[in-house]
A and B are shown apart, each in its own frame.
Chain A
Amino acid sequence: MNSTLLKKELREALWKLVLGTVILTALALFIPLSYNFIIDLFSLLPYEQLEKYLGTIPTDLFNDFSLYLWSQWNAKNLPQLGAIMAILVGMSLLAGEANNKTMSFLLTRPVSRRSVFLSKVLTGILMMFIMVWTATLLMIFTAGFTPNAVDTGKLLTCTFITSIGLFVILSLSILFSTIFGEPVKAGGATVLILVILAAASWFKPLRVINPFIHMYGAQYMIAGTFPLIPVLLMSLAAVGFLAVAMWVFQKKEY
């Protein structure tokens, strides 16, 4: 790994990192702070109506603070906003440099393509890690100041599962960023694939291919069973996308 390259990548990514962390953190902090307000709001509704509006969601959700935090963070905001962040980060990692035509300047320095690729991927992973975990830890820290009990271990484990799901999306975005060499096309292709996977999961037998289903960590939060196979498969998929992306990058002409 080349530290000069890594420093350059981190510098280029700094504003995205700061902006992403601020947005995710603001959203994460809002969840525990708004808990009492939401409970009060729903308590105004008669129980029958509450059940009508919430459908299959267990109505005791609002009596379990940790479950509430998970439902709003790991099962909703983090996968949604995190996926957008992962696409935005990944789509420009390689394509941005190709599009700006600085890639040929970089590749005429005595540096291997492998080093260039790995420094970019590591930057992307590091950015996602900082954004997701800063927001999550601050949410849990803030939740600790409320009178409600917080199951920190469960929330952290669920965030780990969500992070693996976001890693899949980031890797897919990096793969398209390598193939297309144009950030908008790379982002569009990633969104298209995710939409197809999400749409396919309307059919029960195909639910398994939708990363969003797995990244919520519902199986672990509700039933207490760690989804080992989905986590392993998502990790394998992410590593596979990156391996193909590196192969494409090694062959790519600039």
Chain B
Amino acid sequence: MTLAIELEGLSKSFKDKKAVDNLSLQVPAGSIYGFLGPNGAGKTTTIKLMLGLMRPDNGRGKILGLDIEKESESIRRRTGYVAEMPHMYGYMTVQEIIKFCRPFYPVWNSGLVEKYLDFFSLPLKGKIKNLSKGMNTQLALILAIAPEPELLVLDEPTAGLDTINRQELLRIILEEISVQGRTVFLSSHLLHDVERVADQVAIINQGKLIDVRSIDDLKSSVKKVRVVFQKEVPDDLFSLPGIQSYSREGKAYLITIEDNLQDVLNAIKNYPYFALDIIDQNLEDIFIDKVRRSKA
């Protein structure tokens, strides 16, 4: 398997706070990879380390086979990046920023630029400082995909966008990037967006990687079981492998199970019960649960 991103034990601290803590990640080439985490989890710092805007305290990484510390410029030549808040030169017009960025890259797809300038109805003569947040992100996306990058890194690109703009942006990611076999690294705390497009997700909290899986695997492996027993059950029932957490109200239990559902169900069924329901989890439920547990 060819890897587009390979991070090994990456760490970065700011004063006493560990923003990224021994993070290891492998992103297969050609995948759409969701990088999930609450605000302040270390997503942006990880991206900045990948793109050479920051240097790791420890660890190493390769992007498209290139060392993140030694070959940063080559990485950026082959990587498109959209920041959460793209701060471009406000005094330039849309046309001027395109003209400014073009000479930096060996390849520039002018047809693609024209197509999406027209699609988003971005004013060529309009100053960047007068563009809305949505238009700024759209322009940043055009600038990121115009050099036909092998890897597109998006840091919270849909944050602050309205529903229509979010859907359009995600559609472009699918149509223009993913279909052509390029890799997309999508950092977000908006689970629905990631769920819609990503093949795999990594969940990060407080700088640490909590889980890495395909979305289907994650959703099928994590379930909640609601069971109302007829009488008291021994506590060691809840220490079975796979039980991540449980809460109790009287004889009713809500149990979060990961990876070992059948064995846990068999064990539960050994005790008489009034009701037993298996509740499917969406990505948001799983994410919240995992983040809460990582904090605990």
Contacts and interface: CB of A to CB of B under 8 A. Distances in A.
A100 B81 CA distance: 19
Q: Which size bracket describes the interface of B in this complex? A: 20 to 34
Nearest to B106: A110
B104 A4 contact: yes
B90 to A, nearest CB: 8
Given A104-B53, A104-B83, A253-B54, A109 B89 contact: no
A108 to B, nearest CB: 5
Interface residues of A, number: 18
Contacts of B85: 101
Could you tell me the dominant secondary structure of chain B's interface residues?
loop
B76 A109 contact: yes
A253 B53 contact: yes
A105 B92 CA distance: 14
Given A4-B104, A8-B100, A108 B53 contact: yes
B101 interface: yes
Contacts of B74: 110
A107 B103 contact: no
Nearest to B81: A108
A203 interface: no
Given A4-B103, A253-B53, A110 B88 contact: no
Contact of B77 (A3, A100, A104, A110): A110
Interface string B65-90: 00000000110110001010111111
Interface string A85-121: 0000000000000001110110111111000000000
Nearest to B54: A253
A102 B76 contact: no
Nearest to B49: A253
B105 interface: yes
Closest 3 CB pairs of A and B: A110-B77, A101-B87, A110-B76
Interface of A: 3-4, 8, 12, 100-102, 104-105, 107-112, 251, 253-254
6 contacts: A105-B87, A105-B89, A108-B81, A109-B76, A109-B104, A254-B48
